[in-house]
Structure 1
Amino acid sequence: MRTAVTALIVTSGETPYLAATLLAVSRQTLAPRDVFVIDVSSSGVAHRSGTKVLKTPGVPNLGEALRQATAQPDFPTPPPGQPHALWILHDDSAPAPTCLAEQLKVLESDSAIKVVGAKQRLWDKANQIVEVGIHATRSGRRLQEMDTGEVDQGQYDGRGDVLAVGTAGMLVDWDTFRRLDGFDPHLGPFGDGLEFSRRVRLAGYRVMVAPHAVVYHKMAGYFGLRGPDGGRPARSARSFDPTGRDADANGKLEPNPKRSFAARRTAQLHNWMVAAPWWQFIFLPLAVLVLGALRVLWRIITKEPKLAAGELKSTLVTVFRPFAAWQSRLRRARQSKISPRTLRPLQAKSSQIRQAKTTARRVAKDQRRPQIPDGVARRNFYTEKSLDRTLVWSVAAALILVALVGWRFAIGGVSGGALANLPASNRDFWNDLISGWIPAGLGYGSTVGATDPLGLEVASLGQVAGLVGIKGAVVLAVLLFVTLPLAWLSAWWASGVLTDSRTLRALAALSWILSPNLLVSMGLGQLPVWILAVSVPLFVGSLARGTGMPVTRTVMGEIEPVTVSVHSAAIIQVGIAALTGFLTVSASVIMVIPVVLLVGLAMLKGVANPLYAGAQAETRASTFSRIPARLRLKAVHALIVLSPAVLLALPTAMLTVSSPAQWSLWLSSLSVPLPVSMPNWWDLLTAWPLDVAATALPIALPGWQILAFLPLGLLLLTVVVGVIIPGRSTGAHWSLLFALGGVVTAWLASSTPVSVSGADAVCAWGGPGLAVFHAGLITSALFSMGRLELTMPVEIANWSNRSAKAVVAAALLIPVLGATPVLVNQFAAPADSGFNALKTFREASLPATVAQGQSSPRHLRALNLEVASAPHQSTLVTASLWRDWRDTTFEASPYLKLKNYRNVTGSRTPDAADAVLQTTVAAVLGGSTPKLGEQLAQLNVNFIIVPPSRDAATTALVNTLDSAAPLERITTTEAGTVWRLADSATASLARIAPAQWKGGHPSWPTGEVKAQALNVRGGKARVPEGPAGRLLALSERADSSFTVRFNGKIIDPVETGQWNALYQLPPSSGTVTITYAYLPHQLWGAVLLVSLLIALAAALPLRRVSEVRL
């Protein structure tokens, strides 16, 4: 008996595809007995001849629509004993004329066959195949077997039995459909065909595909072309993207599978929960939650925030809807007659999924990087790229050799000059970093941004290196050696945006790395300028590329020149700009001003497009969109770039607003105070950060000062001429304005005292300002030299082009000649050169006895007393407390240097801790006093060091300390003469002692009663039993953010008005826990870390990096 077929077309109102689908059904060679249109919308559909409409408004999915429709009185009930089948179609799936006949032939060929699917092709591209059955893993992940754009040539016509088929064009036996309760009510519009087909298989039946039955599928749901109710998208949905990226030229919504990702992922997870064995199902919700978190993070890293939101939504829906999966599992178990293992031959493997994705990525990458059609141009293009690589890496290798030879004394480690030492490796560093406590002197806290960000970055690098036994001095030496090659690479890369002339790029990069500012800063240990030499070009180059600016190259083709442009992924360049902008502001907080201005210009004014002028003639006669004259930075990209830099500068802004006297913090940077001669205006205009005339050289070359001024003088002249001559671009003028701002900043820094060294006031280093000045001049010159047409291929270049190229090539010698005086003296006699203050790092700079005490559980400190001559008085003794290596990145921060300078000059009233330190130093200089031992012990000072010197004042100080009763001399090393407390058991970070209480106020014992030192490990100390009313004293500056617990109970500090905090302990034994947490610092750090993670995720090249266009 022939099987009766009822066609069911499910739609949501009058969609753009419904009429074509109904027309295709009416043209079937084997017509269905009945045709029903199931309308799930509330708007209704038009009644057509030969069809009936069943209303099921508001149903959530296909399964519920069929369930309600077949239960209505208008739906015919098949007579008993007659085979009956349902032909399910979507409104966007038009069957070919022979589709139903082919499917019915397969269905009637075997009584075990209960479901038959059709081959699916694209609606708009009828010859492209989409699906011939579903091949999926047990977890519901579908294997995409067809390549994008694959043409149907009958290559899949041999298929029969498949794991599953889609619901579009599914022909299913009515009795089987009813017996298995139809589709899963928790699925739709995706995954329902897979789940139902699996149940059919497990019920003992077969699922087949009829390869000669074709359905043309629009896949509107997959491509996100439907509205919220499944029908035509609303106007708001069609225009939700203000950039127009989702709309074509006519304003129609472009197909985008990402819009349906959340629904597809939810269906896949539900199918996984349903099909998993029971022992996996127990742990599957937790596994889905963990996997979902990892996938959300991955989507963020791969710069797909919309897919990350879809991952989060699908994960939460699946995990917090466990009863849906449980109900589906019960239905599946109740209907199953065979083991799920029988499905294994039909299921895909995870390895096949991975292989298919790898192949798809490789194909997509090849499609994004098309070959240059012109064979001669292609050959010349890759030849030019090969020459560039050879040149770049050869020069980089030579620069490493120059650094190793010139600073050969630093191979084992470097220190001295303005270079701050890195703290010793210990876990307390990370606690202080998170908490906001500054372990310098008597400690500092409750100030956001008091530590220098660059100091924290290099110190963190030193801590990581310390885990593998690399010392901080070696880390600094490595930074010194790689500065020149990295600066060369970054400058070469950045200049590629403005010119493709190899000679001009080399000239710009050489001028940058051989700048007097950089070479002198390397010799004197000015670490911030080392960092700026690398970060500034990277920031400028990535910011320009982030606007969409391509890197172009003109090569000779077979007949005419061909311009090839390489477009970088904007989001990756934006991430690089954010990270390098953060690093730039870390080096000098004043750099936030040019960073913000550059981003503002890139967003509001944009960057001139070099392809614009040459493309206008072509675009006027073509139908393609015009190339924009200016490429602008998007607002969201500007936010990503600015967030880390602005957040980093925010604490300094707040400090200077609350205390205007600290405005010089904007000019100061990380460095040990190092007096240098103040430069004049001509020095600054030629990028010299010190007075050249006052600098002594062991090898003074004839006319070396003229050579020193030559490179920047000629560059400045070139820029002035280029700005005066009229041109189309204003880039040269803007760059010159930045340069002038940089030189003014350098002058202001060079004349503003920010620290003190002995009796000398030390001004800020002008290097950061000169870096902006030099970068602005180079950029302005590159803009101006674009008129010379140096990119013209030599085959068609005229005499003027060739002459200009020859002049630029000869100019390569100018930076080298200018750097000759510095490099010759650095090679021959670095120890005697006025351009060098660095020296070999020696362990003896910190006596071993002192180092052991500092790293002990009592965290002992050393008091360094240095004698210097001072005006209007015989001697000046400078005192400093060492917790670690001397002059670490903590002590070298601008905030602490300025605070010390203001204490010395009297522009700031010392706080209680500073006053106690001054009183103690005065007591030490006075010799033996009854309270000297306790005065030192309360500061946790167990060692006193006097650097070696033969002057009379130092000798007198040594004699005084030798006669002091509480002190005993222990050794004399290269670091100086060392004393320690005779009763060294009394000094510690934390001490306890009985106290006398009068009027509710305690008095810390200073007489015969001695304090007991505690061993503090990881912020915890064991306290023995003792008398009632005893006190715990911390040798740290009093701060309300300290928390002390005794056996887990918080103890409030005792109000005494002292410089440090006292806490009353109970008489019982127990454990004291000392923690510090300054909440504003932690909140600021958390927000800054989030912005950096966003920038890092944007910068990782895990998606499209670049593509070549003609």
Structure 2
Amino acid sequence: MQPLVTAVLVVRRGGDALEQTLTALTHQTRRPDRIVVVDAADDAAVTARLSETAPTHHVQTPATTAGFGRLVMAGTDQLPVEEAPSSPYGGIDEWFWMLRHDTAPDLRALERLLAAVEVAPSVAVAGPKVMDGAHPTTIAEFGETLTRTGASIALAERELDQAQHDRTSDVLAVGEAGLLVRRSVWRDVGGFDPALPHVDTALDLCVRIRLAGHRVVGVPLARVFAHETTAEFSRPGRRVRVRPRTLARWRRTAQLHRRLVYAPLAAVPLHWLSLVPFAIARGIGHLLAKRPTLVVGELMAALTVAFSGAAVPRARRRLANARQIGWAAIEPLRIDQRDVRRRAAIARDARRGAAEQNRIDRPDFAPGGVAAVVGAGLVGIAATAPLLAAQALGGGTLAPIASDIGALADAVRVTTEGAADPASFVFAALGSLTAWQPSLALVVLWAAALPLAALGAWWAIAPLVTRPGPAAAAAVLWALAPALVVGLTEARLSAVIAHLTLPWLVAAAIRLPTSWSATATTGLLTAVLIAVSPSLAPALVIVWIAAMVVRPRAIGRLLTLVVPVAALAAPLVVTRVLQGNLLAVLTDPGIAAPPGPSSPASILLGWPTLDPIIGPLAEVLPIADSPALILLIVGLPVLALPALAIIAPALPRGMRALAPLGLAALGLVTAVVASGISLTTAGGVAVGLDVGPAVSLYWLGLVLAAGIALDRMRRSGAPLGAFAVTTASALVTPALAAILLGTAAVEPLSEPRTLPALVAADAVGDPELGTLVLTPRDTGLAARIERGAGRTLAETRTVRSTSDDERESLAELVGNLAAPSGRDVMAELDQRDVRYVLLRASTAEIDGGEATAGDTALSDIVTALDATPALVPVGETDAGRLWRVAADDETRAEPPGDHPLTTTVLLGQLTVLAMTALLAVPTSLRPRRERSTDGTIDDPAATFDEETDD
């Protein structure tokens, strides 16, 4: 008796692929006895076309029905019961031949499949060689197997068909396209598992059939031409493209489901409990391997399987009912671990090849880059020599970072007072570099600022030039930038950090379109830059939007840059919104100190303020009353830099200088606008935004464009480059020498404290102890409250420094202390937990010399403080005159407590930063030198993978 064959054709879409399949089906040399069409296209034209073929059964299902297995089951359920037994194997000699709308069988495909099963009664499943419909000589898939961990893997895929697999017979499983299965066996094992709607449907069926005691074979002479993959077919509608991350999630979901189904009963709880922990660990591995798009899918797969309801128990019952032999029977059909390692090595080599294609050529770092960095390092050490023995730095916006490592952790908390500044994370990270003494990191930063700047500039411009000379010149020009010199001498911490960050940000952004590591690095550096200099945020947003317009294919990567920035800034933004003062988010973090006066002319010349250069020049030249002469002297040496930058686009292949010029324009506009904005006060004086970071952005654009111009001008540009470097060096030398001469604002601290030793000693056991610090000014008396051993960068918060109510209340308290008023101030001191009052003026200033109006006022303040009953004079200290508050410790105010959401917010911030840092860790993808011991090429079959997923 001839075997009865029922072809089950599942249709999701129409088109040429369906037409080819229908034509091939009707022209088979061995035609099916029955044709069951499962119409899931939801298209009237497709339905009409299928009706023309006069199928035995025409079943219509919703287009949303998921998976090949469910659709096949919908068709087979319409068939009558099996006919009488006739097979010597003991089953019903009836077969299901499963086809999809995109799988056009060879004209002899069914004939050869039946020939293979007729001579081997033990065979219950036969699968054809599936060829790529777009490349008919390429094997799309032929046979499937499992690794030791249960991952599915194709025995052959995307290989040129050179008959290398024509001897393959017994396999663990075959694909669903063109699968021929004995109906009785199909019934006994329960058909497809509905919990596998996308991938591994046929694999799981074949495993169960193998465990039921039957064979599965591949028939290499039977061919089917597939236009879609199994995953693509599972997608309803007209779009069939499946993203790599979606396919990875489906594969992982199927693997975890099968793991719970195949595992011994005693091991199922352990596997279930390990789903989410393993998903987290694998997510970290994906980040380290620069596959961030797979992280979310990994967690979703674990959660989907963990909470799949009765899907796993039903599948386990289906397996138990069909199983006749043990797992040892299929062990020889699993892929050998050596083959798994070989395939992994081939995949790594492919990634290395892709990385090599995307590699950015840079000029040699030696000797030009080395000379620039070493020279800058020697200059930096020489210029900061008076600071090298210090334990901390003070003056300007500088103060000790923190008293210990514990204070760094407290600095990033969200308290009832408000959210911490994003810069607190930067200061905490900086202090952690010298965890044994956090404030020492500032000394290291000041000494290493020049060489770090030179190194960063070299890496930023190296991808834009071809010769080492221009790169070295740019490194020197950036290391000796006026903005950096002013930041170092005037103690502007945010300006120094921003200056050092900018070139590294540019260097990472250049590689962003082709590297996830560079993308994460760009995100982290952007977060650092906005944290220390919020005024640069508008300019960076413009650059971000422009990048998405210019590179629309990189929008996905560019959108991820917002994640670390939002993680750090969101709590502060919410706090400001609730306070009704959103503009205050642009306030410069850290210690508030008025920057030097700036003007559009000084900014245009690259100087945030001309004070550091005017002072030294005024001592040797009569320029104090001649602004025009000042601008002429300062401006002439730097004319070469903007001149080179402007002519760069007009040179051959100089259009890449347009982007740096755009950065320069943004920096210039930002600096001019920021120079007119004040958001906080210090000592009763309005403090404007620091224009140093914006000037650095302006200078960076000029340096990069000038470097490109020098590279394009070849030898003719060498004199201009030498002139620019020489004049820039000469111009900043007087300002840089201010640290050596002791005239700079930055000052070394022998101990990491800003208050007298007596106060610091009491603060050891009471870090929240408060000291009211009074500083005489020409226009009055400045006041602030410092905690512990003195104010630190870690404890500063802009929500506190920009509070108008706090300033008014403190001003009223100081007025009652500095002048006899008879008012009891004890309650107000207790409310602020103030235990000391420090007047920053020496005894000589108060008692010595010829009396002046200022001296008289200062004496009156001392007299008023001495006469205050709440204050007990302590005497003169190294920081000024000190009084102790005679207060009862039992009435002390409680410090601001943690916000109820502190733990949640901080955990979320640290999680985002940790994941981004893991992704930013670079991994080596350098191509290895090919080695061969026998002169042969391993795995000569070429791959036709046209997609890359960096």
Partner of 2:429: 461
- For residues 279-337 of structure 1, give each alpha carbon's deviation from its aligned partner in whole angstroms, at most 9, with x where no partner exists: 22224334334445666787789887876665565444433323121011112112222
Residue 940 (structure 2) aligns with:
none
The structure-2 alpha-carbon separation of the partners of 1:748 and 1:143, relative to structure 1 and needing over 3 Å to count, comes to same
Would you say the 8 A contact 2:461–2:507 is kept in 1? yes
Offset from partner CA, 1:1061-1106 (integer Å, 9 cap, x none): xxxxxxxxxxxxxx44287x99999998899789778867689999
Q: Taking structure 1 as reference, are residues 102 and 394 closer, same or farther at Cα in structure 2, changes over 3 Å only? A: farther
**Residue 640 of structure 2 contacts residue 724 of structure 2 at CA under 8 Å; is this kept in 1?**
no
Verify the 8 A CA contact 1:302 1:1097 in the aligned structure 2: no
Q: Residues 708, 208 of structure 1: CA spacing in aligned structure 2 closer, same or farther, 3 A cutoff?
A: same
Matched, 1:281 2:268: yes
Contact 2:376 2:450 in 1 (8 A): yes
The yes-or-no answer on 1:592 pairing with 2:537 is yes
Pairing 1:886–2:799 present: no
Please, which of 901, 904, 915 is the counterpart of residue 812 of structure 2?
Answer: 915
Residues 702-730 of structure 1: CA deviation (Å, up to 9, x unaligned): 99998865542433455677899999897
Correspondence for 1:518: 484
Partner of 2:493: 527
Q: Which moved more, 1:913-922 or 1:834-843?
A: 913-922
What does residue range 734-813 of structure 1 map to in structure 2 within 5 Å?
737-738=665-666, 740-742=668-670, 744-745=672-673, 748=676, 755-756=681-682, 765-778=690-703, 781=706, 785=709, 789-790=712-713, 802-809=715-722, 811-813=724-726
| Conserved? CA contact 1:4–1:32, under 8 Å | no
Q: Does residue 52 of structure 2 align to residue 55 of structure 1?
A: no
The equivalent residue for 1:1047 is none
Q: Tell me, what secondary structure is at the counterpart of 1:114?
A: strand
Between the two proteins, the alignment pairs up a number of residues equal to 895
Q: Aligned in 2, Cα 1:586/1:262: closer, same or farther, shift over 3 Å?
A: closer
Q: Which stretch shifts more, 424-433 or 1087-1096?
A: 1087-1096
In structure 1, how many angstroms separate the alpha carbons of the residues matched to 2:585 and 2:574?
A: 9
Q: Secondary structure of the residue that 1:36 maps to in structure 2?
A: strand
Structure-2 separation of matches of 1:1098 and 1:426: 26
Per the TM alignment, residue 135 of structure 1 is displaced from its structure 2 partner at its CA by 1.4
- Classify the secondary structure of the residue corresponding to 1:322: coil
Distance 1:723 1:22 in 2: 60
Query: CA shift at 1:275, angstroms?
Result: 0.7
Aligned to 2:938: none
Moved more, 669-678 or 508-517: 669-678
Deviations 1:179-210 (A, max 9, x none): 33333344345322222222222223333334
Q: Residues 1038-1058 of structure 1, C-alpha deviation per residue, up to 9 Å, x if partnerless? A: xxxx7xxxxxxxxxxxxxxxx
Report the CA distance between 1:366 and its aligned residue.
0.9
Kindly indicate whether the alpha-carbon contact (under 8 Å) linking 1:224 and 1:256 is maintained by their aligned counterparts in 2: no
Could you say what secondary structure the match of 1:135 adopts? strand
Is 1:1034 aligned to 2:943, yes or no? Answer: no
1:460 Cα deviation after fit: 1.9
Q: CA deviation at 1:781?
A: 4.6
Sort the Cα spacing of 1:219 and 1:482 in 2 relative to 1 into closer, same or farther, 3 A.
farther
2:221 is aligned to 213
Of the candidates 121, 124, 129, which is equivalent to residue 119 of structure 1? 129
Give 2:20's aligned residue.
Answer: 20
Indicate which of 625, 637, 641 corresponds to 1:715. 641
Question: Is the 8 Å Cα contact of residues 393 and 747 (structure 2) preserved in structure 1?
Answer: yes
Structure 2 residue identity aligned to 1:39 = V
Residue 851 of structure 1 aligns to which amino acid in structure 2? A
Closer, same or farther: CA 633–681 of 1 in aligned 2, 3 Å: farther
Per the alignment, residue 376 of structure 1 pairs with: none
In 1, the alpha carbon distance for the partners of 2:72 and 2:664 equals: 72
Kindly provide the amino acid, as one letter, of the partner of residue 846 in structure 2. A
Instruction: Say if 1:675 and 1:762, in contact at 8 Å, map to a contact too.
Output: yes
Q: Give the Å deviation of 1:883.
A: 1.0
| Aligned partners of 1:39 and 1:45 also within 8 Å | no
Q: Write the distance in 2 (CA, Å) between the matches of 1:763 and 1:370.
A: 48
Specify the code of the residue in structure 1 equivalent to 2:728: P
Q: Which amino acid aligns with 1:1077?
A: H
Deviation at 1:358, TM superposition (A): 4.8
In structure 2, which of residues 869, 888, 899 is the aligned counterpart of residue 1077 of structure 1?
A: 899
Letter in 2 for 1:527: L
Contiguous gaps of at least 5 residues in structure 1: 238-252, 373-380, 438-444, 547-567, 607-630, 791-800, 903-907, 992-1010, 1012-1032, 1037-1041, 1043-1074
Asked if structure 2 preserves the Cα contact closer than 8 Å seen for 1:942 and 1:980, the reply is yes
Q: TM-score, normalised by structure 1?
A: 0.68
CA contact (8 A) 1:520 1:835 kept: no
Q: Equivalent of 1:422, from 368, 384, 401?
A: 401
The residue correspondences of 1:617-632 to structure 2 (distance < 5 A) are: none
Deviations 1:476-530 (A, max 9, x none): 1232233323322333333356554543333333222212221131122211111
Question: Counterparts of 1:23 and 1:158 in 2: how far apart (Å)?
Answer: 29
Q: Separation in 2 of the partners of 1:540 and 1:403?
A: 23
Change (3 A) 1:50 1:652: closer
What's the offset of the Cα at 1:12? 1.2
Letter of the 1:435 counterpart? V
Is 1:400 the equivalent of 2:410?
no
| Structure 1 residue 490 corresponds to structure 2 residue 456 | yes
Segments of 5+ residues of structure 2 without an aligned counterpart are 624-628, 849-858, 928-946
Alignment RMSD: 5.2
Is the contact between residue 191 and residue 271 of structure 1 (CA under 8 Å) also seen in structure 2?
Answer: no
Q: Give yes or no for the alignment of 1:814 onto 2:738.
A: no
- In structure 1, the residue matched to 2:203 is 194
Question: For residue 695 of structure 1, what is the aligned residue in structure 2?
Answer: 615
Partner of 1:181: 190
Contact 1:697–1:834 (CA under 8 A) maintained in structure 2: no
The change in CA–CA distance for 1:258 and 1:576 in structure 2 (over 3 A counts) is closer
Match for residue 1069 of structure 1?
none
Alignment-derived partner of residue 166 in structure 1 = 175
**Matched position secondary structure for 1:329:** helix
Within 2, Cα distance between the matches of 1:62 and 1:843?
A: 70
Residue in 1 aligned with 2:942? Answer: none
Deviations, residues 119-139 of structure 1 (Å, cap 9, x unaligned): 333233233234342111366
Q: Would the aligned equivalents of 2:759 and 2:788 in 1 still touch at CA under 8 Å?
A: no
Report the residue type matching 1:1034 in the other structure. A
1:95/1:686 CA distance change after superposition, 3 Å: closer
SS in 1 for 2:151: coil
Distance 1:710 1:528, change over 3 A: farther
Contact between 2:838 and 2:883, CA under 8 Å: does it hold in 1? yes
> CA contact under 8 A between 1:5 and 1:34: conserved in structure 2?
yes
CA contact (8 A) 1:532 1:768 kept: yes
1:585/1:69 Cα in 2 relative to 1: closer, same or farther (>3 Å)? closer
Report the secondary structure of 1:327's partner residue.
helix
Structure 1 or 2: more helix by fraction: 2
8 Å contact 1:410–1:841 — kept in the other structure? no
**Quick one: structure 1 residues 435 and 226, their matched pair in 2 at CA, closer, same or farther if it must change by over 3 Å?**
closer
Determine if the alignment matches structure 1 residue 222 to structure 2 residue 230: yes
Q: Can you list the C-alpha shifts for 1:102-154, whole angstroms capped at 9, x where unaligned?
A: 544553555443333333332332332343421113664112444x6422334
| Pair 1:861–1:358, CA change in 2 (3 A) | farther
**In the aligned structure 1, how far is the partner of 2:79 from the partner of 2:604?**
94
Secondary structure of the corresponding residue to residue 472 of structure 1: coil
Secondary structure at the counterpart of residue 412 of structure 2: helix
Q: Could you tell me whether the CA contact under 8 Å between 2:70 and 2:197 is conserved in 1? A: no
Distance 2:576 2:88 in 1: 88
Q: d(CA) in 1 for partners of 2:76 and 2:601? A: 91
The equivalent position to 1:673 in structure 2, one of 593, 596, 618, is 593
Distance in 2, matches of 1:594 and 1:49, equals 64
Amino acid in the other structure paired with 2:60: P
Alignment of 1:362-373 (within 5 A): 362-367=349-354, 369-370=356-357
Over 3 Å counting, the alpha-carbon distance change for 1:1091 and 1:937 in structure 2 is closer
Matched, 1:137 2:147: yes
Letter in 1 for 2:403: A
